[in-house]
Structure 1
Amino acid sequence: MYFKRLAYSLMGMPLLFALTAAPPVSAQTLSPSGAGTWLQAPLGESDIHSDGSQYEDASYTEALHYAVDLKIDPVTKVLSGKAKITVRTLLPATNLKFQFKKQFEVSSALVDGKSVRSIEHSESNDLVLHLSGQVEAGSSFEVEITYSGPMVIDMDTDTESGWLKNEAGELLTAFDSDTLIFPSTLNASGRATSLITLTTPAGWKGVSVGKLQEETTLPDGSNQLTWNATKELSPRSNFVAVGKFDIERSVLPDGMEMVNAFGEGTLPSARKAVEKISETRDFLEDLFGSYPYDWIGGVFMEFGDGPAVEKAGRSLFLSLKDTFTPSVMAHEMAHTYWGDLVTGIGENGFCMSECLASYAQWRWDDRNGEASASDTYRKWVASADADPEKWNGLGGWNAYSKGPAAFYALSQFMGRDKLDEALRNFIRENRHNTTAPTPWSVLEAAIQAATEKDLSEFFQEWFHSGTRPRSEFVDFPAV
């Protein structure tokens, strides 16, 4: 996965950038090929151990639905759970394969109510259920897995190896979330619905993705919240946060319920920013098409210089300092389209997510008078001319700076309305792709289809080159 930390400044302008996960690469390798160029390879099916070795039985399964019951104690840091997963085999199978952290002990596994022959759980986090017989391709059934174990704590928000814990003792699975809370199929690009019930001790509440379906106080004082994701999501979009949350529920003008969870240390600026959620959603719908989910909101927790992470309609804001603004929220919410709804491949997918979310942020700032997109673009070009390395490719930090500059330049070259139309068409035709991530070439083809201008040289020089494009693709009059 690709994650980048926040908070640096570009030409003196404070920026706070969101994070989104590029889909994992399985059997194929994707790597840069020369300065600023990308090599695209087809995505293979995930029948590979984490250490690179292949199962003898290369069966392949996909999840259709996850129903997960979790009990989490943030004091003892012990998690116990039961996951009922509706799966379908795409090939004949004698075993079923999942990804799940080895720290959890799997005590039982049933397939349609019958015990499996054996359970293999490797140090590489591969969980393999060996069946008593073979299931045929196209078979659907329920797998029930019961497990418990310690919640490994990782205090570093730069890594993705465990639960994050802040000074208030609140816990979060921002990264690699699915394998920390339930077994997920190896087809990480596949999407499924989920129903996640979180039970926590008195004074604590659990938050996840989806609609808040039910909130109950149990006889022993424990809190139980059920979150229902009725739209299909990548497993990586799931998360769990456990905190001393103040949960606010409200209804937007169109009737959609908004749920926001505020952890300890939340600043008034965070509560002020959520007032812009409805307006931001409407802006993004005008830009990219209909909002993809029937839930919306955010989770606000204090992790010092922690990042912001998009999780399918419920963004995680982990740094509540003065740098948190509605502009940052616009970037995050743009990831509901670029990163969640449509995913790309490898470094190309990283740019498809971050370049376009950053471009949406430029448009938001321009619309609201916070920063002219034209001025921001011209300042960035001047800074890149002074430091030619900024022209070199669209990986890493360049996705957040050269990326939106490239799409702004494209809007000037072909016309902003035509680019907007092309992006809406691309999302409509590729949304909820459940078979594989979408190649970058498909995005370029969709944009080309919206104009009679030949964009091939523009694409080559802005998106596949490590040097400054020619003047006709860069130098546009100020608007």
Structure 2
Amino acid sequence: MASKRLATTATAALLSTLGTVGTVACSASNGESVPASSPARPDASVVSPLKPVASASDIATGREAAPGAPGIGDSDFPTDGNGGYDVGHYGLKLGYDPASKHLSGVARISARATQNLASFNLDLSGFTVKRVTVDGRPAKFARAGTELGVTPAASIPNAKAFTVEVAYAGEPEPVRGSSNLGTYGFIPTKDGAFVTCQPNGAKTWFPGNDHPSDKASYDFEITVPAGLTALANGELVGAPKTTGGRTTFQWRESHPMASYLATMTLGRFEMLQGTTPGGLKNVAAVDPRFRGSLRKLYDVSGRVTDYWSTVFGPYPFSSTGGVVDDFPAGYALENQTKPMYGGFAPDDAIIAHELAHQWFGDSLSITRWRDLWLNEGFATYAEWLWSEHEGQATAEQLFRRHYSAGADDPIWSYAPGKARPDDLFNNSVYTRGGMTLHALRQRIGDTAFFMLLKEWNAAHKYGSVTTPEFVAMAEKISGKELDPLFDAWLFTAKKPTTW
């Protein structure tokens, strides 16, 4: 997340020192609530998933169906995501009333089984679940913590497509993380909601497979009191419709997206809509408190997006822009197509950071959280490249200034190549991650380095990536043995001396 916890503050101070600019996320469409039982324990009719009926496919293959794993397989976040299926699309019908803080929704999830599937989990925190169906048939369900266990009427054969529908309602509760995670997820505000979900806060407002390695397309139908604006990822589908004092907005993100990048931020906003100088759709929105920053947000977002398209390769999505809300989050998040700035007007460096994430983090998502430097180190280095492009401090100057930190500086004791789950957004993941890229640039030269950035994006567009894959591509393009460089910069808890 860009400047997650304003990790770029150190860069900001550095840029200021060097003379640069700035400082351095059913109801049907009427939003009516869904009556349901207590979220603490299921209805008597859904007390516990029953053993499913074996499908003809299971019998024919001799393989009995089994439950999907309760986690997707990320050892650092073992309960995040789920096994046994892959989501292709989320259709979310959501209604929210800021006065009562009540959210009601129907989530329609299109997925494909990756095993003979007897039952499976969805991630969902809080809420009362009224109904679950699988392929239109009632399914048994049960709650355990943030897991919603679903047992379909018949098991699902491996590779078969299926659709899950969940009707739910309640008052969303954000995640109040420890250490530098802060507060994230669905956060109620005075006039709406600020929704930024990194790393695992999507489950605070819709059921799903809440891990970045399972990406999907999204349709949002969001109904709010008339006079408010609901913003989500992608592009608006048709004009908002108002009836009975409520307005419905439909947004569509047709490109694959990690769940933590999804948003339904809403409230009172002033907006500018148009295109970047290069012709890409551009949408900027700000809370009235920040109306003075609207034009800058719009203009800088457009210029940055167009420039990154020349450095990193074609922009991977259909629109760009940003949103400034009045919730004092103290951080920004790279929500896909609509970076979110929480309670501050962003400067050029932070905008450059967040929009670089549209390539590094959004189009190319990490397979496991330990590789977070592939998001944050790249976006931090993008800040340096933007400074260089604008005729301010060069990437070399910024690298040298950071490298001048003494050997006992905390940045050297945290090896950023394995981000720690209890300190995920440590400054080392950002700054030392960015320094790793500059060390690589020095080692292989500008021609190979900038070719690598474009090839990395082209080869993995809309996919998931790991550090070993990046090292392998860097070695292939440069023709150099690079393990010592990456070991020193990413995986050794001391100040590197060679690059």
Same fold (TM over 0.5): yes
Alignment-mate amino acid for residue 412 of structure 1: Q
Greater mean deviation of Cα atoms: 397-406 or 342-351: 342-351
Moved more, 260-269 or 304-313: 260-269
Q: Is the 8 A contact 1:348 1:440 kept in 2?
A: no
Structural mapping, 1:162-311, within 5 Å: 162-166=185-189, 168-175=190-197, 176-185=200-209, 188-304=212-328, 306-311=330-335
Q: Determine if contact 2:284/2:322 at 8 Å carries over to the other structure.
A: yes
Kindly provide the CA deviation profile for residues 236-271 of structure 1, in whole angstroms up to 9, marking residues without a partner as x.
Answer: 221111111223321334543222221231142343
| CA distance in structure 2 between the aligned counterparts of 1:250 and 1:221, rounded to whole angstroms | 28
- Whole-angstrom CA distance in 2 between matches of 1:351 and 1:59: 25
Task: Give the 3 Å change call, closer, same or farther, for CA 139–318 of structure 1 in structure 2.
Answer: same
SS at match of 1:127: strand
Alignment of 1:374 onto 2:396 = yes
Partner residue of 1:444?
Answer: 471
CA displacement, residues 164-201 of structure 1 (integer Å, 9 cap, x when unaligned): 244x4331221244212221136641111110011100
The equivalent position to 2:359 in structure 1, one of 337, 348, 351, is: 337
Letter matched to residue 138 of structure 1: A
Higher mean Cα deviation, 62-71 or 6-15?
Answer: 6-15
SS of 2:309's partner is: helix
Residue of structure 1 in register with 2:5 after alignment: 5
| 1:463 partner letter | L
Query: What does 1:324-473 correspond to in 2, within 5 Å?
Result: 324-346=346-368, 348-382=370-404, 384-385=405-406, 387-392=408-413, 393-394=415-416, 395=419, 396-433=426-463, 437-470=464-497, 473=499
Structure 1 segment 59-208 matched on structure 2, within 5 A = 60-101=84-125, 103-116=126-139, 118-122=140-144, 124-152=145-173, 158-160=181-183, 162-166=185-189, 168-175=190-197, 176-185=200-209, 188-208=212-232
- Mapped to 2, the partners of 1:285 and 1:425 lie a distance apart of 13
Structure 1 length normalisation: TM-score?
A: 0.83
Instruction: Note if 1:29 corresponds to 2:50.
Output: no
Distance 1:413 1:161 in 2: 39
Quick one: which amino acid aligns to residue 106 of structure 1?
Answer: V
Q: Does residue 320 of structure 1 match 2:347? A: no
Which residue identity is paired with 2:225? Answer: P
- Once structures 1 and 2 are overlaid, which stretch shifts more, 196-205 or 385-394? 385-394
State the alpha-carbon separation in 2 of the partners of residues 459 and 390 from structure 1.
Answer: 16
Specify whether residues 366 and 188 from structure 1 end up closer, same or farther in structure 2 by C-alpha distance, changes over 3 A only: closer
* 25 and 364 in structure 1: CA distance in 2 versus 1, 3 angstrom threshold: farther
Structure 1 equivalent of residue 65 of structure 2: none
Counterpart contact for 1:4–1:397, Cα < 8 Å: no
C-alpha separation between the residues in 1 aligned to 2:226 and 2:473? 52
Q: Go from structure 1 to structure 2 and tell me whether the alpha carbon gap of 1:254 and 1:152 turns closer, same or farther (over 3 Å shift).
A: same
Q: 1:453 to 1:142 in 2, by over 3 A?
A: closer
Instruction: Structure 1 unaligned segments of length 5 or more: list them.
Output: 31-45, 53-57, 474-479
**Helix, strand or coil: the match of 2:393?**
coil
Q: Percent identity?
A: 22
Question: Is the 1:64–1:87 contact (alpha carbons within 8 Å) kept by the matching residues of 2?
Answer: yes
Report the Cα distance in structure 2 between the residues aligned to 1:267 and 1:211, rounded to whole angstroms.
Answer: 22
Aligned-residue offset at 1:159: 3.0
Residues 180 and 282 of structure 1: is their aligned pair in 2 closer, same or farther, counting only changes over 3 Å?
same
**Matching residue of 1:41:** none
* Alpha-carbon separation, structure 2, partners of 1:325 and 1:59: 41
Secondary structure of residue in 2 paired with 1:214: coil
In structure 1, the residue matched to 2:57 is none
Please state whether the residue corresponding to 1:362 is helix, strand or coil.
helix
- Residue 5 of structure 2 aligns with an amino acid whose one-letter code is R
TM superposition score normalised by structure 2: 0.80
Q: CA separation of 1:405/1:187 partners in 2, compared to 1, >3 Å: closer, same or farther?
A: closer
Counterparts of 1:448 and 1:59 in 2: how far apart (Å)? 33
What is the alpha-carbon distance in structure 2 between the residues aligned to residue 280 and residue 119 of structure 1?
Answer: 47
- Structure 1 pair 402–187 and aligned structure 2 pair: CA distance change class (3 A): closer
From the superposition, tell whether residues 345 and 2 of structure 1 become closer, same or farther in structure 2 (CA, over 3 Å): farther
Q: Distance in 2 between matches of 1:28 and 1:213?
A: 35
Give 2:379's aligned amino acid.
A
Tell me, which stretches of 5 or more residues in structure 2 are unaligned? 17-21, 26-69, 420-425
